[in-house]
Structures are given as structure tokens and as C-alpha cells.
Amino acid sequence: MFSLKWFNTPSIGTTEKSPRKLEGPIMNMPDLVMKKIMENVDFTTMLKLRKVCHSFRNFIDETKLDNDLARVNINVTPSAIYAILNFASSSREFVYLYYIRYGKNCLFKIREGGIEEAKLIKNQDFVDAFFNDFGFILRNQSKPLKNMNIDKLSYTPNHYDQDLKTTYSINEWCTSTRQLKDTFDAGKHLREINKKYALQPTDDKFHDRFDCILKSRVSPIPIKNLEMRVLRPSYFLNMIRLIDMNQLRGIEISKAYEENDDEDGKQLDLNEIVELDVFKYIQN
């Protein structure tokens, strides 16, 4: 298994000079050799290689490698995106991705196998950081995904803690004016940094980026089962038109909860959704 370490990879905002030095030697390798390397790396290494230089990134994206992705579970919250990628390959089973808003920066952590790595991506929005990494998979996915699950949550007081295990991670990622005592203290610090964000602005940007990537594909993305929790019917309506109807076997749609929903009495209007022709393609 080919692998790299994050140690010599600075944050994205500070990597302008080193990639140009590396671009020549790497891109002088024969395409067949480079493709063979790509076929034998884990997902974590693939992300690192895409950040080496623009030419290497373009090569990886244009080669359209078969990544054996089988299932995707994405959880969108006002200030974080969590994703679980399940691969069919025995050498690359589960990958856990964490993208957390930290002011104007993004806290990033990846867990694959028994390895966890974390870093601070400076001056980059966490939604953009997520799609910079996940987007090339969506664009190149050729085999049908068994399941795509997109969930939405508004924060609970300990949401950072239970999903991020911030007891140790927060001290690796960011600078606080005092030592953080425990997970509760770490979660409180993140909420103070991020202030108060609603789900909808994040969700709007998430679906805009998602749809743009699906539109850039040569063909509709093949998904067998789609599960979505949505704030607006338009999120689903826009996305479903970009899916391969011949592969679709099941759809599950539900309303995402926003904190002010109880006061506003908002309900999810499914009338426009149930009238779609897409349902006639679903097979048992």
C-alpha cells in the first residue's frame, strides 16, 4: 500500500511555493506508472497527492480511476459536514471525513483504518473544503452507488463532542487563550468561535456545490437508493434530475429540522415531488 504523511504538507492556504518545485519530477513519470500508483493508494493518500500540484491533480481527475465507492453517508449541520465513505474494496473499507467551521478557517480530520490525521486549512470555507476533496469522487463515479444518504441536523449543545471526539483533537487543531479541560469545554469554545449559524445558509451552499458537480459529469450519476432529509423541496427536485433513473430502486425523503420550525409551523410540501415522473422508474 502506497502512503504519505501529512507532516510535510502545510495548510492549503500556504502551499503555493512547494507544489511548483515538485511538479516537474512527478509529472515526468510515464502515465502508465502514475496510473498504477493511483490504483494502489488508499483514499487518504489520494487526497494528499491531489494537493501536490495542479498538474498532478488534473491527471488524477481526468484519469477517472475506479474508486469502488459503494455507500455514502453525509451529515450537514450549520457549522460542520461529516461524511462516511464505504468502499467495496477490502483494502479500503470505511473513510470518515470531518470538516468543521473554525471562524474563517476549516478544521479537517480524516480517519481511515486505524489512522487519524488532522490539520487546519486556513482561509477556506468548510463546505468548499469538503467538495474540493469529495467532488472528484462524484465526478468520476461510474459504478452504481448502493446507497446515498444526505442527512441534516441543527446543533445540540454537545454535538461537536459526540461526533468529533474533541477531547484531544481540538488541542491539535486550534489555539485557545487557555487550556481546554474536556469535551464540554472544547465544544463551548467552538460555539464561541463560530457564534450562531442557522442550517439553511449552509444547506443552500451545500446543494449548490453538489448540483454543480453532478452537472459537470458526462452522464447522470448512478445511485440505487437515495435517502434525503431536506429543508426545501427544491433541493431534491434539482438533484433527482441529475441521477440515472435506470439505476434508481428506492427514494426516501423527510423534512430537516430547523430551530425556528416549531414557531413558524413550516411543513414540507411534497405535492410537487410526488408528481414527478421519476417514481415510475423505481423498480422493486
Residue 178 binned pLDDT confidence (cut-offs 50, 70, 90): low
Within a 10 A sphere around the Cβ of 275, how many other Cβ atoms?
A: 9
Alpha helices in the chain (DSSP H): 17-27, 31-38, 43-50, 54-63, 126-140, 159-164, 166-173, 183-194, 199-215, 233-240, 261-264, 271-274
Give the separation between CA 266 and CA 232, rounded to whole angstroms: 10
- How confident is the model at residue 34, as a pLDDT? 74
pLDDT of residue 9: 37
How far is it, in rounded angstroms, from Cα 122 to Cα 103?
Answer: 10
Pairing of strands 250-255, 225-230: parallel
86-110 confidence digits (pLDDT tens): 988 766 678 999 898 888 888 888 8
Q: Given this model, what pLDDT does residue 163 score? A: 41
Instruction: Please state the pTM of the whole predicted model.
Output: 0.76
pLDDT in tens, 54-78: 777 777 777 766 677 899 999 998 8
- pLDDT value at 153 more than 90: no
Q: What is the pLDDT of residues 157-177, one digit of tens each?
A: 444 434 444 434 444 554 455
Beta pairing class for 94-102 and 115-121: unpaired
The kind and range of the H/E element at 227 are strand 225-230
Say if CB 150 and CB 137 are below 8 A apart: no
Which has more pLDDT, 16 or 174?
174
**Per-residue pLDDT band at 4 (split at 50, 70, 90):** very low
- Taking the C-alpha atoms of residue 54 and residue 24, their distance in angstroms, rounded to an integer, is 11
188-244 per-position pLDDT tens digit: 767 677 766 778 889 999 999 999 999 999 899 999 999 999 888 889 889 988 999
